[in-house]
Structure 1
């Protein structure tokens, strides 16, 4: 999909402040409210805007521990990926599941209220996931940059 300068202005302001009222967004982007509505619809239909959703601040809800777990799976079983991912989906504390090509096959992001809860999740839910050949845990210390958008 081709974007013109008006689309880029709309997206820049929309990404910067997604909660803006549409009239304010239209004014800041330099378009009329009707034009804004039409362009947002076109951007949604074109797959540029995929969803409008809330981003949860887990730490504000009392989850002080975030760990990235990197797995290499035992691929001697042809269903290893599917079975691992199906089991990982059942762990409520797993908030992200990503697959990769390369040495690491899957990365899970796990949240817990504290280290005691994390150890319990790790022992009872993570280590029991099927087809694990290797596992590396990386504890999040700080998020320096977290941007979902592109430089538009």
Structure 2
């Protein structure tokens, strides 16, 4: 589906997503019109889903990052639906993932400090419905964080 030029454009976009099309075209060895048409095709086929802004929450004072592994009471009707709907309402929850296996849901949340985290955990997380078990993993450091694809 992708040829070498498409992969080159995608690699360049991964390196610098805000690069203007004329600069992107020059770096890829294409004319701006040809690069724009290829980018349009990549968007139309769903390969490119758009651009996003990534905010460094640490610079905004959120120094604590915790991953919560949650097992739900699956015997309760609508356990997943009730839990997920309530978890979406916690502003500090920045990611929710569901799994097959012993752990049903992972919540990723941020807090300003440990006191703020304790308050979120006590007042918001522990009141979420249908929790059977919960395990907290606090991030000490991020060793590798690369979302670029090997194109």
Task: Tell me the equivalent position of 2:15.
Answer: 16
Secondary structure, counterpart of 1:67 in structure 2: strand
Q: Shift of the alpha carbon at 1:147? A: 2.2
In the TM superposition, residue 69 of structure 1 has moved relative to its aligned partner by: 0.5
- The corresponding residue for 2:108 is 109
Q: Distance in 1 between matches of 2:77 and 2:148?
A: 36
In structure 2, C-alpha distance between the alignment counterparts of 1:43 and 1:147, rounded to whole Å: 22
TM-score (norm. length: structure 2): 0.96
Counterpart in the other structure of 1:121: 120
- Cα distance in 2 for residues equivalent to 1:148 and 1:50: 14
The secondary structure found in structure 2 opposite 1:28 is helix
Q: How many correspondences in the alignment?
A: 151
- Structure 1 gaps, min length 5: none
In the TM superposition, residue 49 of structure 1 has moved relative to its aligned partner by 1.0
CA RMSD of aligned residues (A): 0.9
Paired residue secondary structure (1:133): strand
Output the CA distance in 2 between the equivalents of 1:147 and 1:46.
Answer: 24
Q: TM-score, normalised by structure 1?
A: 0.96
**Can you give the 5+ residue segments of structure 2 that lack an aligned partner in the other structure?**
none
Which one is further off, 58-67 or 22-31?
22-31
- The Cα shift of 1:56 comes to 1.1
